[in-house]
Amino acid sequence: MTLIQWVADQSDESLFKIESRPGFVFTPVEGSFNKTLCSECGEYVFDRYVRMKDGKPLCIPCSGYANARTLGG
């Protein structure tokens, strides 16, 4: 019997000990599908593409697409 076969034959309970970690707080990664309404045309925009102009969220076309590109956004 190979070592790998022996390991494969063991039950999960004999190989792993599962317990909660005291004081551990799970913080989910911020979602990448959050979206915001463009204040100009009312279209939903994924947050990573939202452009702020005069304090208002805008989609890329409403914010001026050329500027958005040169800003490296």
Count of residues engaged in binding Zn ion, rule: CB under 5 A: 5
Q: Nearest distance from residue 44's CB to Zn ion, in Å?
A: 10
Which of 35, 37, 40, 64 is the binder for Zn ion (CB under 5 A)? 40
Q: Which among 38, 29, 62 is positioned nearest to 47, based on CA atoms?
A: 38
Query: x/- string (CB under 5 A) for Zn ion, residues 5-34?
Result: ------------------------------
Q: Which among 57, 33, 58 is positioned nearest to 46, based on CA atoms?
A: 33
- Phi-psi category of residue 23: left, alpha or beta, with phi > 0 → left and psi -120 to 50 → alpha: left
Residue 64 in contact with Zn ion, rule: CB under 5 A: no
